[in-house]
Structure 1
Amino acid sequence: MPMSWAYSSSEQRGESSLRTVHAALDEGTTLLDTADMYGPFTNELLLGRILRQRRQDAFVSTKAGLLVGEQHIVANGRPEHLRRACDASLRRLQTEVIDLYQLHRPDPEVPIEESWGAMAELVAAGKVRALGLCAVGARASRRAGASLHQPTLAQLDRVQQIFPVSSVQAELSVWSREALEGLLPWCTARGVGFLAAMPLGNGYLTGTLTPGGGFEPDDVRARHPRFTAEMMAANQPIVAGLRRVAARHGDATPAQVALAWLLTQGRHVVPVPGAKKAHWPVQNAAAAKLTLTAEDLVEIDALPVAQGSWD
């Protein structure tokens, strides 16, 4: 997403993004997670240039069900829309099959069973291999004026009866742990994969952002309550704690500690960090080799709750 949408447009450069994805694949990262709304559409087109050369190296995940308007993001879970969206994604991604197709958000105007049933038909047609649902970003979307809803556990139970849920994608990080109380246990009990979105707190947990941010006007963080100068300063103890843990592991970084913590939450938890420059996926991949000690985990669990409202 950061390569094409929602973050600083001046840093969205096609050739740099291509190098970044190639670097990730070279490091053994396989999951490429995108959505038709990123851009919109340009992110899938970007990945299509990669997949044309390296389809065998990638597990391709994309999403449908959200439309970007001039003022708002709106949900569209109508079966006919999801069918058309899948065909369009296949063309943009230059692939014959999507490994994981995700409902970006349930449409409050459409029974989720209808949306899910249409997506199951895509699996039967050989266009999609597995299905997932997203719960990420609903709070941010409400700030933008959209009427969007996260799937409830009851909804997940209902769609599971229609076609297996292979994954749930939701925000989870050291500074945003709500999913530990509901969604993650649901996934763990059923062997469902959990894609941890925004695992580095929109970049904050890397420790490279300074209070005040200096974000460009089109960057969503410029209007994010947690990225005001006051809140960024107030949340510095979280990054300081990650730095202390990292210091016990040689040249580890706060970002690597944050990703390694996620990997301790269960073998089915897969962090999905964004990146715009080629050195970031190389550093992110190294987090898989970082083994946190019991002392490390106790210290991370004791870090203060992040300050600043999401709403």
Structure 2
Amino acid sequence: MERRGMGAGALGVGAVGLGCMPMSWAYTASRRSGEESLRALHTALDLGVSLLDTADMYGPFTNERLLGRVLPERRAEAFVSTKVGLLVGEQHLVADGRPSSVRRACDASLRRLRTDVIDLYQLHRADPEVPVEETWGAMADLVAAGKVRALGLCAVGARAQRRAGAALHEGTISQLRRVQRVFPVTAVEAELSVWSPEALGALLPWCTQRGVALLAAMPLGNGFLTGSLTPGEGFEPEDLRARHPRFTAEMMAANQPIVVGLRRVAARHDATPAQVALAWVLAQGPQVVALPGAKHERWVRENAAAARLRLTPADLAELAALPAALGSWD
């Protein structure tokens, strides 16, 4: 698989990575299988899908433990990204950026992952009660201690920023400027897809100018861009799409022209809509890495094959002309 640089250093990963969250959290619980997830992880590494993206809060903790069942025998082939700074509370998620919490969380992640070093340690959310420089400084100390190789930041406040129009990602860029003065940013993880292209406006240019990798989260639009979801189908209560405004029956039907456009391009390449959606993400720049989530070996293989798909200028123009996605994010 084509490899792409991870920041300004010598780190590199496969152009398509693997978002491991669906294996343990947020999506259809009835379709999860620990053994199938293990097969998916081994297949990913076999295919050159080296970036495995997880977080301590996924589960919580179970997602890292799952990776810990694979890493001891495949560590040299894997580039492990995990996150810190966000806890699962009783009713909502809670940010915790205290330096002491960062240090404890890193040690706990290393134990669960059964590895000596985390390749990319990302700040999942900035804590409004702690200056982000203090949190980032604690993370930088982990690099100095040899427990972490590089640092990243997850784009935050996406829903509020969508409502702000031109202010999209300004909060994230402000944070990036602040932490960059403390320790170099290697990667930023942010939503980027055919139906959520907002990161192209300000965030991607910021990353490009500074040699920072952009990890494209949700490149398949929470599964919508695969074309496998039927408008009106129900989601299990714990599935995040059950409460997602774009996944009501009305909005899924209204956004079908986007899937139709993906299918049209896919037919010309003997590909799937999902592969076209991923190829579009990869076409946005050489420092962009696609991070589709998957929990089954079949989808890992399909996603990995998208790294070989080269869209033509005509394809990209046709996709750019697709209607904007409908659906409130409030």
State the TM-score, normalizing by the size of structure 2: 0.89
What's the counterpart of residue 15 of structure 1? 35
Alignment match, 2:8 = none
1:116 corresponds to 2:136: yes
Q: Does residue 196 in structure 1 map to residue 216 in structure 2?
A: yes
- 1:18–1:150 CA distance, 2 compared to 1 (3 A): farther
Equivalent in the alignment of 1:68? 88
Say if 1:105 and 1:151, in contact at 8 Å, map to a contact too.
no
Cross-structure match for 1:269: 288
**Are positions 1:34 and 2:40 aligned together?**
no
The amino acid that maps onto 1:74 is: V
Q: Residue in 2 aligned with 1:294?
A: 313
Residue pair 1:139, 1:310 contacting (<8 A) in 2 also: yes
Q: What's the C-alpha RMSD, in Å, of the aligned pairs?
A: 1.3
Unaligned residue ranges in structure 1 (runs of 5+): 141-148
**CA distance in structure 2 between the aligned counterparts of 1:281 and 1:213, rounded to whole angstroms:** 24
Matched, 1:258 2:277: yes
1:144 counterpart residue number: none
Whether the 8 Å CA contact 2:156–2:171 is kept in 1: the answer is no
State the 1:139 CA deviation. 3.1
2:325 is matched with: 306
Distance in structure 1 (CA, Å) of the matches to 2:247 and 2:157: 16
Deviations 1:28-83 (A, max 9, x none): 11000000000000000000001011111100000010000111001111111010
AA in 2 matched with 1:116: W
Separation in 1 of the partners of 2:238 and 2:80? 28
The total of aligned residue pairs comes to 302
The letter for the 2-side match of 1:14 is G
Within a 5 Å distance, the mapping from 1:1-311 to structure 2 comes to 1-135=21-155, 138-139=158-159, 151-250=171-270, 252-311=271-330
Q: CA deviation at 1:213?
A: 2.6
Contact kept? 1:137, 1:171, Cα under 8 Å = no
Deviations 1:197-227 (A, max 9, x none): 0000000000000001321111110111100
CA distances 1:116-152 after superposition (whole Å, capped 9, x unpaired): 0000000000000000000167539xxxxxxxx9953
- Once structures 1 and 2 are overlaid, which stretch shifts more, 210-219 or 82-91? 210-219
Distance 2:62 2:171 in 1: 27
Letter in 2 for 1:45: R
